[in-house]
Structure formats: C-alpha cells, structure tokens
Amino acid sequence: MKIAFFGTKPYDRLWFEPLCGDYSCDIHFIESGLSEDTVILAKGADAICIFVNDYVTEDIAKELEDIGIKLILLRCAGYNNVDLTATNAHNITVQRVPSYSPSAVAEFSIAAMLSVNRHIHRAYSRTRDFNMSINGLMGQDLNGKIAGVIGTGKIGQCMIDIFNGFHMKVLAYDPFPNENLDVIYVPLEELFERSDFISLHCPLTKDTYHIINRISISLMKTGVIIANTSRGPLIESVALVEGLKSGKIGGVALDVYEEEDEVFYEDFSNEIIQDDVLSRLCTLPNVLITSHMGFFTKEAMHAIATTTLQNARDFENGDKLVNVVK
C-alpha cells in the first residue's frame, strides 16, 4: 500500500520507516501538514496518514476521493479533526489508534501538575541564573486533597490510579461511569466545587467543548490547579486567563491549547506570536505550557507505528477493521 504521510517529523521517520517492509507499505513522507493546498501531494497514493492538527473538511474529502484515496489513517486516538459525514459521503474509510500508551499521558499529566503546584519550572529557571531563593515557590501537599478526573476512559483510569497513589480522595465525572473503578462518581458541578486539582481526560465533542468556562470556573475552589492533556478546546482560553488573573485558578498545566493548530510542533522562537491569548498565558508564572507531547514516549511511538500500519494492512487485505471510525 502506498501511503502519503502528512506532517512528518524526524521522530515519525524513526519509528515508521523501519517497519515499512514488515507491513508491505511504501510511505511517502511529507513535511507539510494536510490542507487544501497540500492535499494534491497525496495523488498516486492509496491512503493518507495524518495527525491531530490535520483537518479533513468536506472540500478536502472530495479532493481525496477525486485523486483516488480510499483510506485515512489517523496516527492518534482522537478524530474530532475529521468530518466523518464528509468522509462517509466520499467513500473514504477512517481508522485510528484507539490506545497507544494511556500511562504515558497520565504520567505526563501528573508530572505537569506537580511542576505547577511545586513551581518546579520556575525553580529551574531561577537556578540557571544562580538565583537560589525559594521565595514565592511554596506549593501544597497532594496527600489528603481532593482530585477531580473528567473522563474515565483508559487515560482517566490511569490518572485515578496515580491520584490514589498520592492518597488523595478522587472524584470523577463521565457520562458513562465505570463502576469497577476505585473512584466516586459525582455530577460535574459537584466535581468543580469540591476538587483541589482537576485533570481533563475526555474527548472533544459538542458536549465537552468549553467544559471549562466562566461559569464552571466560578464554581471552583479558589486556588484550584487544572491540567489539560486531552484537547485544547475543552477549555475556554479567555475565561482561563481571567480566572488566573483573578486568582481563582491557582495554576494550570496545558499540553494542549484551543488554537494550537498553527503553533504547536513548530519553532517560532525567532518570531512574534500573533496569538495574544497564548502570549499572555506564556507570561504568567503559574502556567506551564507544553506542545502536545503527553503521548511522546518510546512505548507510545512504537504502538502508534505498529497499529497504524496494521490498520493499513487490514484494509488492503480486506480483513476486519477493528479500529475503524464511523
């Protein structure tokens, strides 16, 4: 199978290229992301492979059908970036990687949350300049505090285990509760009101869009710490800035951002960022922003590569598609 691989980074080549022979795939690596201007680069391929910030719209789906693309391989779990109505209408199958390393994302979430809580990122910057003062770097114990987990899928379950390991009381919200988990399910409003730490692990849907907003922030404890390693639009960014400025929110760790598409995974260190909200967030001392890297471990990359290429082989061989998105 010939695959046009959009948005290629060096680490993608490192993990996918050695496996091409094992899965009988011919991958054409393309550095540019998928867009209306670049979709033509897939001509001659059987499938395209895309990541979280590549969007498949109606126009792109039509163009893909016109050039003979039958399969979209998502090398990620989320699929909110694909217009499934459009792909279905244009006879294009969509497959994803539903689970690559839930523990990787959960471990990153707690690491980022701990860094914000204990100001580790600020302490690192200070000591690099030989400023050994600890004034202003006081945090709080997690032991005995209340943690709120929104979304109890595989990553959320790992996060619950981690919070329990810190001897926290763990509350959870999910429209589809898992009664086998060691957690107390509560209504969303109650989770906001009671939690000292909140971690987001739900997919982006019309119901979860801006689940953190001015109203929900107003319900939270003063000084609450929030971590989002799921999808950027779960948080209303302007409301987040307001909550941080007022002191209602004590700190936030963001591995995703509402308008990350044109910024994340690229080097803008010599340019002026035009996103005023992101620029403001980056100046605040109680904010830690990383570039959607919670998944980024050796184990996760291996799982992403093997599952993606297995999805391609299953489609080519006419086998059952276990990871199809409908």
- Catalytic positions, written as ranges: 231, 260, 292
Q: What are the DSSP E strand ranges found in the chain?
A: 2-5, 26-29, 47-50, 71-74, 93-95, 146-150, 169-173, 184-185, 197-200, 224-228, 249-254, 287-289, 324-325
Half-sphere exposure at residue 211, Cβ-oriented, CA atoms within 13 angstroms? 26
**104 touches 295 (CB < 8 A):** yes
CA distance 324 to 193: 38
CA distance 239 to 251: 14
CA distance 294 to 302: 15
Secondary structure (3-state) at 68: coil
CB contact set of 122 (below 8 Å; sequence gap of 6+): 136, 137, 285
CA distance 276 to 60: 30
